[in-house]
Amino acid sequence: MSDYDYDLFVIGGGSGGVRAARFSAGYGARVAIAEERYWGGTCVNVGCIPKKLFVYASHFAEDFHDAAGFGWDVGKPVFDWPTLRDNKTREIERLNGIYDHMLTNAGCDMHWGRARIVDAHTVAVGEETFSARYILVAVGGWPYVPDIPGKEHVITSNDAFFLDKLPERMVIVGGGYIAVEFACIFHGLGVEVTQLYRGPHFLRGFDDDIREHLAVEMRRKGIDLRFNANLEAVMKEGERTLACLDTGAELETDLVMYATGRKPLTAGIGLEELGVEMAKDGTIKVDKHFHSNVPSILALGDITQGPELTPVALAEGMAIAKTLFADTPTTVDYDLVPSAVFTQPPIASVGLTEAQARDRHGDDLDVYVSGFRALKNTVSGSQERSLMKLIVEQATDRVLGVHMIGPDAGEIVQGLAVALRAGATKAMFDATIGIHPTAAEEFVTMRVPTRSGAREAAE
C-alpha cells in the first residue's frame, strides 16, 4: 500500500489532463483530478469545438449564394445570433457531461476548485490537502491582452462565444490562427470585419504560398486586412467605440477583439516556490517523458514547449499514463504533426514548409504548386480558388511537406499525413490513381515541378 493518497494527482481538466487521468486509472493507478472551471478545457469550451460550430454557421451565407447557380431559390436568408449561441452552449454542456461520466467511470476522484502545489508530493484544493506520488500540471493557457489604454473595452476569443448581440462592425487584432479564423467567422455571419496585424503578413510559421493565398481570398470576400498596423488605444465615446491605430488612423467600430496569443496559467500555483524550472514565457521545461526538474512534477499540453494542439495533448497524456503506470516508457514524436486552420477557405498542412525544407535540406528540392477554381465554383459563380503544394527532396524523392488551402483541406490532409508518416515518395503519389472528380486527386496528378533548386533562380 502506497504512503500517498493518490498515485497521480492531475491539476487541470482539459483534454490532456483528462486523458492522462482516465488511462492512468485504467492501468490501476489511484487518480484524482482537480478543475476550477469546466471539463474539457479550452478545446471543448472556448476553442476547437465551439469555434468549428461557428465555422459551420458562418459558411452557410456562401452556401446559400452558391445554391442559386445550381437552380435553388432559397429566398433572402436571415441569421439569428442567439439561436447559434445558445445551441452551441447546449452542445458544450452535453460534452461537459460526457467528460464527467468518463472520469467517473474510470474511477477518478474529482475535486472542484483551484489547486495549488504545496510541496513535491502535496496538492491543496480549497481547505483540503492530498498527497500524491506524481503531480501532473495540465492547466493550459488563457488569452493575453497587452496593457493598452482602453483595455477594459476589448474582448478575447473566450468572450466571443457568449456575446449578447452580434456587432455590425468589428476590429480583430492579431495575426495567428485564432485571429484569422474569427475574422472569417464573423465576416460570414454578416459582420463588417477589419483585421489588424503588426507584422508584414499573418500566420507566421505557415507556408508562404498558403499565407499569401489566404490573404487574397479574405480580401476578395470583403475582409479589411491591414498589415504593419497595430492598435494603440481603444476609446469609448458614448455609444461609439474608437480603435486608434499606430498608423494614425481611427476606426469607428462596435467591438474590438484581441487574439494576440495565450499565456500559460502556471503562475501562482506553487511552481516557483518549489523551484520548478520554467521558461520566461511561463511554460514548464520537461524531458521526453514530461518530467520537470522536480521528478515528481510533470506537465503536458499548452504549458510545455510543444505544439499547442489538442491531439498533441492527448498523445502526451497517453504517453504519461503508459510510462508511469503501464511499464511502457513512451514518448511523443512531434515530427509530421498535421494541423488545420478553419478559415474560409480552410488551410491544412503536414510536414515542412518550403522555407523550413530549404533550411534543413538546402535547395535540392522540387516544389509542386497547383492553383485552381473548384468544379463547384464554375457553376456557383464563386471566384474562390484553391491551392495545393508538395515539397519534395530531390535526392530521396521523399515528400517533405503537404500544404493545402481550399474546401475540405483538413479532411484531405489528414489522410496524406499517414502517407508522410509512412515515408511516401513523390513516385508513390504519382502511382496512386485519383478519385475523379475531386479536389484531392490534384495531389496525385501534379507531374511537373513549379520550381526546382533555389527558389530565387526559379522566380
Catalytic sites, residue numbers: 436
Among 3, 4, 38, 2, residue whose Cα is nearest residue 18: 38
Count, residues in the chain: 459
Q: Please give the helix or strand (H or E) that residue 253 lies within, else none.
A: strand 250-253
Q: What cell was used for 57?
A: 454557421
Residue type, 321: A
Q: What is the dihedral of CA 186, 192, 198, 202, to 10 degrees?
A: 50
Please state, in angstroms and rounded to a whole number, the distance separating the CA atoms of residues 142 and 140.
7
Between the alpha carbon of residue 96 and those of residues 14, 15, 90, 91, 336, the distances in Å are 10, 11, 10, 9, 31
Q: What are phi and psi of 159, to 5 degrees?
A: -75, -25
The C-alpha atoms of residue 145 and residue 157 are separated, in whole angstroms, by 11
Contact criterion met (CB below 8 Å) for 234 and 154: yes
Instruction: Give the separation between CA 252 and CA 85, rounded to whole angstroms.
Output: 25
Backbone phi, psi, residue 190, to 5°: 105, 10
SS (H, E, C) 197-251: ECCCCCCCCCCHHHHHHHHHHHHHHCCEEEECCCEEEEEEECCEEEEEECCCCEE
